[in-house]
Amino acid sequence: MFPMSIPRNASALRYSSLFGVLCSMYLCVAVVIVFFTDKTVVPDPSANFKNIKPITLTFDGVVSTVPLIIFAYMYQVNIPMIYVELETRNAKTMGSVIAAGSSVAVVFYVMVGIFGYATFIDDRI
């Protein structure tokens, strides 16, 4: 419990959020690099992409997936602290911050999902 009690102000959220985003970026980049460079895992990247079934984008799929991504970043805990750190505190600014953060998170999750699926498409059960 001691390390969690060290940050005494809301500005510490900036560093922990940055760390979380950097970890997500690292995971995304690592999955993409493994897909294109590790020939023992993916001998032919173009063949793996050809074997991918087309992605069906449905309203039900989006409605069930996006909330999981948002709650994976635990917004419900961070929103008050993010609001306090804003220079201009209003609903419009907060909405744009949440939209930008959610968009970046969705892009990372989609990239990891696509390249992770393409990497292991031949290992299906």
pLDDT digits (tens, 9 = 90+) for 62-77: 898 878 877 776 666 6
pLDDT at 125: 43
pLDDT interval class at 12 (50, 70, 90): low
For residues 122 and 11, the model is more confident at: 122
> Amino acid identity, residue 21?
V
Q: Are 112 and 31 in contact (CB under 8 A)?
A: yes
Q: What mean pLDDT do residues 7-22 have?
A: 68
Q: Are 110 and 125 in contact (CB under 8 A)?
A: no
- Is the pLDDT at 56 greater than 80, yes or no? yes
pLDDT interval class at 120 (50, 70, 90): confident
Alpha-carbon distance 27 to 109, whole Å? 10
pLDDT at 36: 94
pLDDT at 37: 94
Q: Nearest 10 degrees: CA dihedral of 101, 102, 108, 114?
A: -170
Q: Are 117 and 124 in contact (CB under 8 A)?
A: no
What is the pTM (predicted TM-score) of this model?
Answer: 0.69
